[in-house]
């Protein structure tokens, strides 16, 4: 891709688990183990996978919340992997993270006005009146009213708290927004309202979204391109509509087949045995082989790499590449 807004090159994040308690041994947990991808300006890029696949770790490592163990992150062509604290603070204006649980990421002792004004106080030199005006505008942009500025977070519903979470980061006019499970825990009717808002805000503020979700239906609806993660790596990447219509990796196939569809009984036999691997002890070779119906000798011996198999589609599987 030419001039991606975000370029991630072989990014790894390994955690060391603590030893000692009840005789447990220390282990290296390979939460993120070599991910490369480009995100273009204005894209909504989806990251999907089951719990423990590394999708949230990827989001947090991009932003420097976690220091990467290996690899680089480029923002608008500039390597931001090893910025100093001070430089990182400046950069964070451009890349913002919306946390999974908005209720617990809003300070319960602050009223909404204070919560929304805080980022502006840190990042801009605007005067009090200008900040106040911007805060009011942002409330309206996310579908709330300026009368609600004196309220506290607990006085809002789950859907409204998500709106507040968005309003808070949008005051900084970011370029990239990382949405971590932005609809989990919401009822379907509220979910639809919030998704609509994401779409409106994207056009209005020219945003690029990195959309992390385990909800494949939502990703299908919102994202232009999508990467499927398994065991800390990308197993398949491509245009969402084509990937959903014709998944190539065996894991993508069973993952899509496992989505319960309204009004349609699932066909027998397409379900997947076993559970996702433990990131402290991955199997040798391909990380998916213990659950794979198509495994061959090569799969247990050698790890496949992500290879472009056709226009815009990359797959990490020995059978396909």
Partner 1 sequence: MDGSGNNVLLNVNRLTVHFHTDRGLVRALDHADLRVSRGEVVGLIGESGSGKSTLARSVLRILPFSAEIAEGEISLSGEDLLAMKESDLNNRVRGRGITLIPQDPFTSLNPVYSIGTQMEDIVRWKGSAGIGEGPAGAKVIEILERVQIPSPRDQIGKYPHQLSGGQRQRILIAMALLPGPALVIADEPTTALDVTVEAQILQLMKSLVLGKGISVLFITHDLGVASQICHRIVVMYAGQDMEEAPVDVLFSNPRHPYTKELLESLPNAEGTIRDIPGEVPNLIQPPPGCRFHPRCSRANNLCALVLPEKKTVAEGHRVRCLYPLEA
Yes or no: say if 305 and 235 are a contact pair by the CB < 8 Å rule: no
Yes or no: say if 207 and 142 are a contact pair by the CB < 8 Å rule: no
Residues 6+ apart with CB under 8 A from 226: 45, 46, 47, 48, 219, 237, 238, 239, 240, 243
In this structure, the number of other CB atoms found within 10 A of the CB of residue 240 comes to 20
For residue 135, state whether it binds partner 1 (rule: CB under 8 A): no
Q: Which of 133, 266, 308, 312 binds partner 1 (CB under 8 A)?
A: 266
Burial class (CB in 10 A: 0-12, 13-18, 19+), 46: buried
The span of 25-33, 92-100, 191-199, 203-211 binding partner 1 (CB under 8 A) equals 191-199
Give the C-alpha separation, 233 to 251, whole Å. 12
Q: Which of 18, 51, 84, 125 binds partner 1 (CB under 8 A)?
A: 51
Residue 99 or residue 198: which is nearer to partner 1 going by CB? Answer: 198
* Residue matched to tokens 């815009």: 312
Residue 269 token pair: 């036999």
Yes or no: say if 64 and 88 are a contact pair by the CB < 8 Å rule: yes
For residue 262, state whether it binds partner 1 (rule: CB under 8 A): yes
Min separation Cβ 101 and partner 1, Å:
15
Distance of CA 53 to the CA centre of its chain: 11
For residue 25, state whether it binds partner 1 (rule: CB under 8 A): no
Q: Which of 14, 34, 41, 50 binds partner 1 (CB under 8 A)?
A: 50
Q: Which of 88, 91, 195, 320 binds partner 1 (CB under 8 A)?
A: 195
For residue 203, state whether it binds partner 1 (rule: CB under 8 A): no
Residue 41 or residue 214: which is nearer to partner 1 going by CB? Answer: 214
Q: Which of 25, 84, 188, 203 binds partner 1 (CB under 8 A)?
A: 188
The span of 13-21, 62-70, 117-125, 254-262 binding partner 1 (CB under 8 A) equals 254-262
DSSP state of 57: H
Min separation Cβ 291 and partner 1, Å:
8
For residue 212, state whether it binds partner 1 (rule: CB under 8 A): no
Residue 93 or residue 295: which is nearer to partner 1 going by CB? Answer: 295
Yes or no: say if 319 and 294 are a contact pair by the CB < 8 Å rule: yes
Question: What is the residue-wise DSSP string for 3-39?
Answer: S-SEEEEEEEEEEEPPP-GGGPPP-EEEEEEEEEEEE
The span of 13-21, 61-69, 146-154, 263-271 binding partner 1 (CB under 8 A) equals 263-271
Residue 8 token pair: 């991630």
Angle, nearest 10°, between helix axes 112-123 and 128-141? 120
The span of 7-15, 141-149, 203-211, 259-267 binding partner 1 (CB under 8 A) equals 259-267
The site for partner 1 (CB under 8 A) is made up of 50-51, 157, 159, 187-193, 195-196, 199, 214-218, 220-222, 241, 244, 254-255, 257-266, 268, 271-273, 275-276
């Amino acid at each position: 891709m030419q001039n991606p807004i975000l370029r991630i090159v072989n990014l790894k994040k390994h955690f060391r688990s603590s030893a000692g308690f009840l005789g447990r041994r220390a282990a290296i947990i390979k939460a993120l183990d070599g991910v490369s991808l480009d995100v273009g300006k204005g894209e909504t890029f989806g990251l999907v996978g089951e719990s423990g696949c590394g999708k949230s770790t990827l989001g947090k490592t991009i932003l420097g919340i976690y220091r990467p163990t290996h690899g680089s992150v480029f923002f608008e062509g500039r390597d931001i992997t090893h910025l100093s604290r001070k430089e990182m603070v400046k950069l964070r204006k451009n890349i913002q993270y919306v946390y999974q649980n908005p209720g617990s990421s809003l300070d319960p002792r602050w009223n909404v006005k204070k919560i929304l004004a805080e980022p502006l106080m840190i990042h801009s030199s605007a005067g009090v009146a200008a900040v106040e005006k911007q805060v009011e505008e942002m409330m309206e942009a996310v579908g709330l009213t300026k009368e609600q500025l004196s309220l506290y977070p607990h006085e809002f519903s789950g859907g409204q708290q998500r709106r507040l979470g968005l309003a808070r980061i949008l005051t900084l006019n970011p370029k990239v927004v990382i949405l971590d499970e932005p609809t989990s825990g919401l009822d379907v009717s509220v979910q639809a309202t919030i998704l609509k808002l994401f779409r409106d805000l994207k056009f209005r503020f020219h945003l690029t979204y990195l959309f992390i979700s385990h909800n494949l239906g939502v990703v299908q609806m919102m994202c232009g391109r999508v990467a499927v993660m398994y065991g800390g790596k990308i197993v398949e990447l491509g245009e969402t509509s084509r990937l959903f219509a014709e998944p190539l990796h065996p894991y993508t196939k069973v993952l899509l087949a496992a989505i319960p569809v309204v009004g349609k009984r699932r066909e027998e036999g397409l379900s997947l045995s076993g559970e996702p691997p433990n990131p402290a002890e991955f199997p040798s070779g391909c990380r998916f082989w213990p659950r794979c119906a198509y495994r061959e000798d090569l799969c247990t011996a050698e790890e496949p790499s992500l290879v472009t198999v056709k226009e815009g589609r990359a797959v990490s599987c020995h059978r396909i590449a």
